[in-house]
A and B are shown apart, each in its own frame.
Chain A
């Protein structure tokens, strides 16, 4: 995890960008195991260890972590909203119920603003897209090393917890929206859809090929930009979190006072447990201060002392940078979920408009 060595830096980033893949390794693939190289006799369905095996799987592979986290978050969304819906009363709402009502009203308002057709499905769809994408993006705010490290201790080698940094997930959602667009275009307009594709900018039969080309490019660009925008934003955000985390680790490795301590205990690769202990101690000290057990002056001194043992001022700087980027990122994740929702509504609204 040390930052000085470019090879290990690159490895650290690539390890973080690697999904947990389950798939079919083709027969004859040379697999690296603990006992040496092993050549597979037949096609094998297995978990991939590392990027090269994941690449060798080709099409027959599934990103277990992306699927697991996104479906899990979808279930969480359904459960929370159902719970609120069951409890809803005509009285004054409070707490969680109030919050859910706020979200529903917000989405309802957005749909009313930009959707002018008559369709019962658009508002629930918009709500699902907004909350689901928001929850998936929210995973970005968990510390980058936390879950992969814990999973690593439990024996799972790779883990990418933000499903929306996986292009398969974002493009899949965009594809879903695209299918709905096509469906409603055909259902509402019928042959008018063909007419729109062939007769649109230039209303003359001689221009049909040109019109068709332009309209098809415009149509296909919509799902592409929808999926890639979300993916690109989340990927870049995740990348910056990883880079700051790397600086944090590098700073700790060359910490000012007792930086060598963890190197002494754990060698070059600092163990996650060390950070967990320091983190728990600092949290404990702050908690004591909140409860009034120790004075603020002592709290500051104790915290600074713990931080110097844990790797000095660089570590603190790294933590502050993570925190700062996380706060900016709250804006980005909400905005991207909102944009995905609004664009879905707008595209479906365009599918419902007869002539323009």
Chain B
């Protein structure tokens, strides 16, 4: 049971870590790009949202699986 919880914790933590780095880079580059060429702002923002969604998918799926592990698998394994 403990291992299931630790697995979920690793899943959540590493997923969040990677996505946070990715999002940070993405947002930073967007601001850099828009500061350089403000007229490209709307176009870049659209592309940024697309990529943010792509990056977001991986940790969110991880969160879903982790929640399933914690609340459904762990109780049935342990108790």
Q: Hey, which bits of chain A sit against chain B, CB under 8 A?
A: 6-7, 9-10, 13-14, 228-229, 232-233, 235-237, 239-240, 243, 332, 335-336, 338-339, 342
Contact = CB atoms under 8 A, between A and B. Distances in A.
B63 A342 contact: no
Contact of B67 (A10, A240, A336): A240
A243 B71 contact: yes
B75 A236 contact: no
Interface in B45-79: 49-50, 52-54, 56-57, 60-61, 63-65, 67-68, 71-72, 75-76, 79
A87 B54 CA distance: 37
B50 A232 contact: no
Given A6-B79, A10-B76, A236 B67 contact: yes
Contact of A233 (B60, B65, B79): B60
| Residue of A228, A239, A240 most packed against chain B (CB within 10 A) | A239
A7 B79 CA distance: 8
* The 6 residue pairs across chains A and B that have the minimum distance between CB atoms: A236-B64, A232-B61, A6-B75, A335-B53, A339-B53, A229-B57
Contacts of B50: 338-339, 342
Contacts of B67: 236, 239-240, 243
From DSSP, what is the main secondary structure of chain B's interface residues?
A: helix
B49 A338 contact: yes
A232 B72 contact: no
A342 B52 CA distance: 13
Contacts of B53: 335-336, 338-339
Contacts of B61: 228-229, 232-233, 235-236
A233 B71 contact: no
Contact of B64 (A9, A235, A339): A235
B68 A339 contact: no
Given A6-B79, A10-B71, 20 more contacts: A6-B75, A7-B75, A228-B61, A232-B60, A232-B61, A232-B64, A235-B61, A235-B64, A236-B60, A236-B64, A237-B60, A237-B64, A239-B67, A239-B68, A335-B52, A335-B56, A336-B53, A336-B57, A338-B50, A342-B50
Contacts of B72: 10, 13-14
B13 to A, nearest CB: 16
A232 B75 contact: no
Contacts of A332: 56, 60
29 contacts: A6-B75, A7-B75, A10-B75, A13-B71, A13-B72, A232-B57, A232-B61, A232-B64, A233-B56, A233-B57, A233-B61, A235-B61, A236-B60, A236-B61, A236-B63, A236-B65, A236-B67, A239-B63, A239-B64, A240-B67, A243-B71, A332-B60, A335-B49, A335-B52, A335-B53, A335-B56, A336-B53, A336-B57, A339-B53
